[in-house]
Structure formats: structure tokens, C-alpha cells
């Protein structure tokens, strides 16, 4: 097929352009030519794709037909991946294309967590984030994207939304078209003509029994690899998936553990300082002088190590500070952690100097920084716009309660060893109260109606699905901490292990629902 040349625009006109793509699903025959052309043009390795064709069988025998849908990056006008990217590796061009710069990608996977369309992946060869960018290198030469040039039925069209002569623009302006997940308010620039809800909505079609598909699904399997048609959803839909690729959670156990170590780090200093201000712990007490800052610094160091370890390019971690994109809560969190660590170091210096006034003065800095460090992850998770379980307005407060629970649990054995009885009684009371509030918040969230099907399915995965084996033991173990005023130090390990199990269930269940 002859490659069509598009009108190349001058630099002065680029800002007036808005590249869009129209996918005419009434013409798509499911030949996968677009997928193979994209792989060839962009050297996409096996096991991952920038674009793929999903299919579902509609109706019931003998009245059955197969519907196809092309899935790829939606080139959003309000792209969540751009906002979440800490180093500007994901960026939006003046002509509307959301592009990427692999040289400054740190592999944090924040863009993947933020994307409501499962359109971004980590390239297994260069370990950087990648997705469809409309073959921007071809557009700049006046050529069509590779997928457009090879489509045998002309089901894929690209054009400038502001160009009245553009076929794609005419369809968008004059005909009925659809976008994926409009409720996310991302302003997609990929429009579907004649799409079926069974393919457009990742939850609309049933999964085949035993995951038997017309063709093998791509990518690695495993507990966190789930195709569309969520297994936890009972559906009487007449639509049955026939080809799909797995959805895989971008953040694994290291992120679950990071939320726990950060809670311990903040709570270990927060609880003793508040008790010191309350008069239940003396400023010369060895728990306040030594145990609290050392435990806090130690677990804060573990938090930083986990965050770095989770990167696919850990040696580029410094780019979070030097190539920072301030809208990203990963960047804000990094600076918050650095500031909190500096405050703890000065507090420990006060202990080394034996200066009570210095440590008392530093509480004005340490307490607010501990609170912010404990709770900022709620805003980091909120930037993952597709993860509806994480969009709770109570999450910041809940993380603070968890920090108090973890801090009281980790500091309790040291107060038993280093502090007077009244301090031990106070820490036990904090542990009991924090455990009670934590359990009440969970009960309240489970009792409230979820905003949409994605949130309900994620909650079901947490309480009755794959992650129930972590969730319920976590609830029971934290429940033991309610007896802290009576059983004392033995309650501490139950609280610590129980909250770790709960955090893992919550973080992983939030990513369990397929998006494409």
C-alpha cells in the first residue's frame, strides 16, 4: 500500500494543531496488521505491544458475530501519565501528542499506575516506559503512522482536529463517536466509531472458562496478570472475550512494603514526641533521646532503599531531584522524605549533644514533617487515576492512623526496657486506640457504597478474592493489638505483621482490575 503524505506543518503552526486518531470499528477485520507494523516500525520487543486488537464474540449461538477493537495510548489532553511522571520523561507536545524521553526515564512505573487505559509498559530490553506516540517521527516527515499505512480497510485514520479538510476531524465533528472511560476526564484524542460496549468496557464481556482464548494471550501470567472480564465479576453478558492481553499491576510487593516501612519511620518518632509534649515521656528518657530517632532514621533509610530498588533504572534516581516535575507526588514525596530525614538527623544531634532545648525546638519541625511524610502517599495514589479503590478522601487520615499504630507497636518494647511505667501505659493506650480507629475506618469504607464497578471489584478482590488471604489475617492480627493494655509487649508484633498484611492486600487489590 502506498504511504500517504500528510501536510507537514511549520513550527509556528504546530501549537494550533491537535493530532487525533479515529478507529472505525465497523471496518476493523481483526487482522492485526497494525500491531505487526507498529512492532516493526518502532522495534517493539516480543511480549509487549504499543497497540493490539482485542476481540469479543457477541450474541448467542447461532446468532453470533465477532467485534474487534484497537487499543492503544489515547493521547490525552489532560494526560495523567504526564502529571505523575517525576522526571518529565512523559510529556505532552504542543501538537497534542503525548511522547516520551527514554533517556530520563527512571522506571518508577508511576505513569503506568496513572494511565486509565493500560497503554504504557516497561520495555523489557531497555527497561524504560514506552507507549504509542502516533509515530511522531513519521508525522514530522509528513508520513502517516505505520498502523495507518498498513490497515487494509482504512479503519485507522489520523488527522489534525483543527483541519477542516481532515477526514478524521470531519468524522469527530459530524458523526457519533466514543472515547474510552470519559468519566476520567482525560480528554482522549483517540475516538472510536461504531465500537461495541463489550470491547470498549473492559468489564463488559465475560472471560472464557479456564482462560481459553482463540489465540494465546501475550505476556507473563501469574497472580497479578488478569485479562479483561474480571474474574471476580459475575456477568450474564452475551459477550465473550476471544482475544485479549493480560493486565498486570505496575507496583508489586516492594511498594506494599514501602507504605509499611514509611509508616513505621514516621510513627516511631511521632508517638514519642507527642507523648513527651503530653508529659507522659520525659525529654531525658532514653526512648525519646535514642530509640525514637534511631528507629525512625533506620526505617526511613529502608523506605528510600525500597523506592530505589523498585525502579527499573535505580542509578537514575537522582533525576527525581535534578530533573524534577513538581506536579508529581513522587517528586514531592522525595523532597518530603529528604526534609524529614534531615530533621531527624538534627534531632539525633541534639541527643548526642545532650541538648534538651534543641530537641524541644526541633519538635516544631519533626512533628509536621512526620505527619506529612506519613500521609503524602494518599496523594501519590490519588494520581493513579485509574485505581478507583485508592481514590478515598479518607486515605490520608487513615495512613496517619496507621503510622500511629506502627509507631506505638515498634516503640513499645523499648519503652518497656528504657522508660518508666507511665510511659509504657501511654504507649499501650496509643496502640490500642490506633488499632481500634484503623479497624473502624476499614469497616466504614467496606460498608459505604463504592463509586463504580471498578472500585467495587477491587474491594471484592481485597476481601473475597486473591488478596483475602492477606486482608483477613491482617484484620485479625491487628485486632489482637486491642488487648495491648492487658497483654503489653506481645501485642506489638501482631500489630506490625497484621498491618503489613493489610497494606499488601490494599495496594495490590487497588491495581487488580483490568483497564483495557
- 334 and 320 Cβ atoms separated by less than 8 Å: yes
pLDDT (tens digit per residue) in 183-205 = 899 999 999 999 888 888 888 77
DSSP code per residue over 151-194: -TT--EEEEETT-TT-HHHHHHHHS--B-S-GGG----SEEEES
DSSP code per residue over 437-453: HHHHHHHHHHHSPPSSH
Residue 428 has pLDDT above 60, yes or no: yes
Alpha helices in 179-309 (DSSP H): 197-200, 253-278, 286, 292-309
Note the Cα 308 to chain centre separation in Å: 16
The per-residue pLDDT for 10 is 45
Closest CA to 336 of 371, 310, 378: 371
Looking at domain 16-203+230-246, its CATH class is: alpha beta
What element of type H or E holds 67?
A: strand 63-71
pLDDT (tens digit per residue) in 145-178 = 999 999 999 999 999 999 989 999 999 999 999 9
The per-residue pLDDT for 216 is 38
Within the chain, all domains assigned CATH 3.30.70.20 are found at 16-203+230-246
pLDDT, mean of residues 284-306:
95
Interstrand relation of 19-24 and 190-193 (parallel, antiparallel or unpaired)? parallel
- pLDDT-based confidence at residue 241 (cuts at 50, 70, 90): confident
pTM greater than 0.75: yes
Within the chain, all domains assigned CATH 1.20.1630.10 are found at 253-509
pLDDT (tens digit per residue) in 307-332 = 999 999 999 999 999 999 999 999 99
- Cell numbers linked to 418: 528504657
Mean pLDDT of the chain: 89
Task: Give the whole-angstrom CA distance, residue 238 versus residue 368.
Answer: 55
Output the CA–CA distances (angstroms, integers) from residue 106 to 84, 93, 97, 317, 339, in the order listed: 13, 20, 21, 6, 22
Which residues are bridge partners to 90 per DSSP? 100
- 183 and 201 Cβ atoms separated by less than 8 Å: no
Closest CA to 49 of 152, 119, 151: 119
- 291 and 418 Cβ atoms separated by less than 8 Å: yes
Task: Give the whole-angstrom CA distance, residue 253 versus residue 262.
Answer: 14
Query: Which residues of 72-145 form beta strands (DSSP E)?
Result: 90-92, 98-100, 121-122, 129-130
Pick the CATH number of 253-509 from 1.20.1730.10, 1.20.1630.10, 3.40.50.300, 3.20.20.100: 1.20.1630.10
The per-residue pLDDT for 228 is 53
pLDDT (tens digit per residue) in 38-70 = 999 999 998 889 998 888 888 777 788 888 888
Q: How many CB atoms lie within 10 A of CB 362?
A: 21
Cis amide bond preceding 62, omega within 30: yes
Amino acid at each position: 500500500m502506498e504511504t500517504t503524505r500528510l501536510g507537514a506543518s511549520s513550527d509556528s503552526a504546530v501549537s494550533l494543531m491537535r493530532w487525533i486518531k479515529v478507529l472505525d470499528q465497523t471496518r476493523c477485520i481483526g487482522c492485526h496488521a497494525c500491531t505487526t507494523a507498529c512492532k516493526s516500525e518502532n522495534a517493539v520487543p516480543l511480549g509487549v505491544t504499543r497497540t493490539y486488537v482485542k476481540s469479543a464474540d457477541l450474541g448467542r449461538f447461532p446468532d453470533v458475530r465477532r467485534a474487534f477493537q484497537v487499543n492503544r495510548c489515547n493521547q490525552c489532553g489532560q494526560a495523567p501519565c504526564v502529571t505523575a511522571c517525576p522526571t518529565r520523561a512523559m510529556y505532552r507536545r504542543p501538537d497534542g501528542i503525548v511522547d516520551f524521553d527514554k533517556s530520563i526515564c527512571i522506571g518508577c512505573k508511576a505513569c503506568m499506575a496513572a494511565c486509565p487505559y493500560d497503554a504504557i509498559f516497561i520495555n523489557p530490553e531497555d527497561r524504560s516506559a514506552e507507549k504509542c506516540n502516533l509515530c511522531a517521527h513519521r508525522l514530522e516527515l509528513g508520513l502517516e503512522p505505520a498502523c495507518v499505512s498498513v490497515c487494509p480497510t482504512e479503519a485507522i485514520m489520523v488527522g489534525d482536529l483543527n483541519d477542516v479538510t481532515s477526514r478524521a476531524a470531519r468524522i469527530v465533528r459530524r458523526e457519533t463517536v466514543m472515547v474510552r472511560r470519559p468519566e476520567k476526564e482525560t480528554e482522549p484524542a483517540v475516538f472510536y466509531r461504531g465500537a461495541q460496549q463489550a470491547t470498549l468496557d473492559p468489564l463488559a464481556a465475560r472471560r472464557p472458562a479456564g482462560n481459553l482464548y482463540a489465540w494465546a494471550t501475550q505476556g507473563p501470567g501469574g497472580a497479578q496478570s488478569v485479562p479483561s472480564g474480571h474474574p471476580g465479576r459475575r456477568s450474564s453478558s452475551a459477550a465473550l472475550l476471544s482475544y485479549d492481553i493480560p493486565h498486570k499491576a505496575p507496583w508489586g510487593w516492594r511498594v506494599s512494603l514501602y507504605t509499611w516501612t514509611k509508616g513505621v519511620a514516621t510513627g516511631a518518632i511521632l508517638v514519642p514526641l507527642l507523648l513527651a509534649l503530653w508529659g507522659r515521656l520525659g525529654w531525658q528518657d532514653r526512648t525519646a533521646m535514642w530509640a525514637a530517632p534511631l528507629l525512625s532514621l533506620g526505617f526511613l533509610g529502608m523506605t528510600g532503599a525500597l523506592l530505589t530498588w523498585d525502579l527499573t533504572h535505580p542509578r537514575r534516581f537522582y533525576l527525581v531531584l535534578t530533573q524534577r516535575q513538581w506536579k508529581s507526588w513522587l517528586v514531592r514525596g522525595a523532597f518530603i522524605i529528604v526534609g524529614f530525614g534531615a530533621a531527624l538527623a538534627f534531632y539525633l544531634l541534639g541527643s548526642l549533644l545532650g541538648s534538651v532545648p534543641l530537641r524541644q525546638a526541633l519538635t516544631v519541625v519533626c512533628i509536621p514533617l512526620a505527619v506529612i511524610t506519613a500521609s503524602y502517599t494518599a496523594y501519590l495514589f490519588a494520581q493513579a487515576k485509574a485505581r478507583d479503590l485508592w481514590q478515598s478522601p479518607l486515605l490520608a487520615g487513615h495512613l496517619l492512623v496507621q503510622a500511629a499504630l506502627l509507631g506505638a507497636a515498634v516503640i513499645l518494647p523499648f519503652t518497656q526496657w528504657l522508660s518508666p511505667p507511665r510511659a509504657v501505659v501511654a504507649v499501650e493506650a496509643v496502640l490500642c486506640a490506633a488499632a481500634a480507629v484503623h479497624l473502624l475506618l476499614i469497616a466504614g469504607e467496606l460498608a459505604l457504597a463504592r463509586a463504580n464497578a471498578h472500585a467495587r471489584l477491587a474491594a471484592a478482590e481485597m476481601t473475597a478474592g486473591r488478596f483475602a488471604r492477606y486482608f483477613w489475617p491482617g484484620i485479625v492480627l491487628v485486632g489482637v493489638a486491642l488487648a495491648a493494655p492487658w497483654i503489653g509487649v506481645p501485642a506489638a508484633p501482631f500489630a506490625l505483621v497484621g498491618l503489613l498484611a493489610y497494606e499488601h492486600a490494599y495496594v495490590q487489590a487497588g491495581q487488580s482490575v483490568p483497564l483495557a
